[in-house]
């Protein structure tokens, strides 16, 4: 019989990264995977994470990673969407 989490907080919602240039989604997925972060592409969205990225520290690390990644690609912007909140 499966063991279910005792609290709703144990369910993790992955982050969705929206890119202004959908052509860079594959490149972002590859960069995230090279850094050891689970990621896959769904249209112009990049779905990032497992349970670890949902933690506050993991989310902050993801934002730093994305900002650094975007700095080396002029003109690209991103938006991170998770649990109904939006962050740029």
Name the token pair of 88.
């740029």
Name the token pair of 52.
């670890």
Say whether pLDDT at 78 is over 80.
yes
Residue 39: predicted pLDDT: 93
Is 59 within 8 Å of 53 (Cβ atoms)?
yes
Tell me: the pLDDT tens digits for 11-26?
455 789 999 999 999 9
Tell me: the pLDDT tens digits for 29-64?
999 999 998 999 988 899 987 654 456 777 788 999
pTM equals 0.73
Torsion of CA 58, 60, 63, 68, to 10 degrees: -100
Residue 60: predicted pLDDT: 85
Q: Where are the domains of the chain?
A: 10-47+58-87
């Amino acid at each position: 019989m499966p063991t279910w989490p005792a609290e709703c907080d144990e369910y993790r919602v992955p982050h969705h990264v929206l890119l202004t240039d959908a052509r860079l989604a594959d490149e972002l997925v590859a960069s995230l995977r090279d850094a050891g972060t689970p990621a896959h592409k769904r249209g112009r969205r990049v779905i990032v994470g497992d349970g670890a990225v949902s933690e506050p520290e993991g989310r902050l690390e993801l934002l730093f990673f994305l900002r650094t990644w975007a700095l080396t690609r002029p003109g690209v912007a991103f938006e991170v969407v998770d649990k109904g909140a939006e962050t740029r």
